[in-house]
Homo-oligomer: A and B are copies of this chain.
Amino acid sequence: MSHDIRIVTEAELRDVVTLDLETVDVIEAAFTALASGTVVMPPILSMELKEANGEVDVKTAYIPGFDGFAIKVSPGFFDNPTLGLPSLNGLMILFSAKTGLVQAVFLDNGYLTDVRTAAAGAVAARHLAPETVRTAGVIGTGVQARLQAQAAHLVRPFERLLVWGRDGEKAKACADDLRQALGIEVQVAPDAEALVRESTLVVTTTAAREPVLRADWLHPGLHITAMGSDQPGKNEIDPAALFAADAYICDRVSQCETSGELEAALASGHWTGGRPAELGEVIAGTSQGRIDPQAITICDLTGTGAQDTAIATHVFSRLDSAGTIIEV
């Protein structure tokens, strides 16, 4: 018995799904499901290709009630820029959760990952940032710096944005892009400290292996989303800040322990708070997030297979005639 498989390219996917509130709701539902304890999410498969300065990660999750489950393959080959190629690539495959048949192959070059990652930032800001944010800040100047700022603005429509990165030229380009995208005041901050001190909502989007945000910069009413760390050894936030905050929230504790900010905090002995809460538990109301407007909150996003399954299923439902149909 033959069946059809939809092959959809990045360009086609960009027409189907974008970073908007509907996408944020889809990703929020994945976090809520994750907190219910019924999601099956195995550990990430990770392989290093040292000779090519490359790595590849495979994520998946089954969310009961979803028609499909995604398997997402993310290669990162860090010498690619010297060949004129992007470092990050990859694809997602959507399978029927009832029969295991392949339904679609999304040749997205990481686009769906970019969107679902940014959407998770919006979910974190929606549930953890103070109700009113006038100034936000983003540390880092890449694709996620741009997308995270836009995602945060969807749920906390701040009037002013600060950008900081090690490379001043890139920071200026990022600020220019975001000024145009958001239509608000966007400035390059003189340093990370000034950015944090002036912001109510900060998103860190770097691949740092030494903290870019120090604990003594924390101030009442600050929310930080740290989304850059997703591999052992990465560390954006001063380990002392996690315990100093009123609430430190993980997307998935088991991942944050090995690949998120919690890794360094555990290793340095700065984390003595027991099992942190997860974002889905805060959404579901079973764990406490922000207790008052003056609280300091930190959300650690490593990226989950549940987000991949959620975005892939969402995209599939909106494909209409997009893509190439292959009969197998």
Chain A residues close to B by CB (< 8 Å): 1, 5, 7, 9-11, 40, 42-49, 51-52, 54, 56, 58, 60-62, 64, 69, 71, 73, 75-77, 80, 83-85, 89-91, 93, 95, 97-102, 105, 107, 109, 324, 326-328
Contact = CB atoms under 8 A, between A and B. Distances in A.
Contacts of A327: 9
Contacts of A73: 71, 93, 95
A79 to B, nearest CB: 8
Contact of A95 (B56, B101, B324): B56
Query: A-side binding surface: helix, strand, loop or mixed?
Result: strand
B62 A49 contact: yes
State the copy count for this chain.
Answer: 2
A77 B99 contact: yes
B42 A47 contact: yes
B7 A84 contact: no
B84 A56 contact: no
Query: Which among A10, A44, A69, A95 has the greatest number of chain B C-beta atoms within 10 A?
Result: A95
Across chains A and B, which 6 residue pairs bring their CB atoms closest together, nearest first? Answer: A75-B100, A45-B45, A77-B100, A107-B328, A9-B328, A42-B47
Nearest to A9: B328
A88 to B, nearest CB: 8
B48 A109 contact: no
A73 B77 CA distance: 22
B62 A60 contact: no
A48 to B, nearest CB: 7
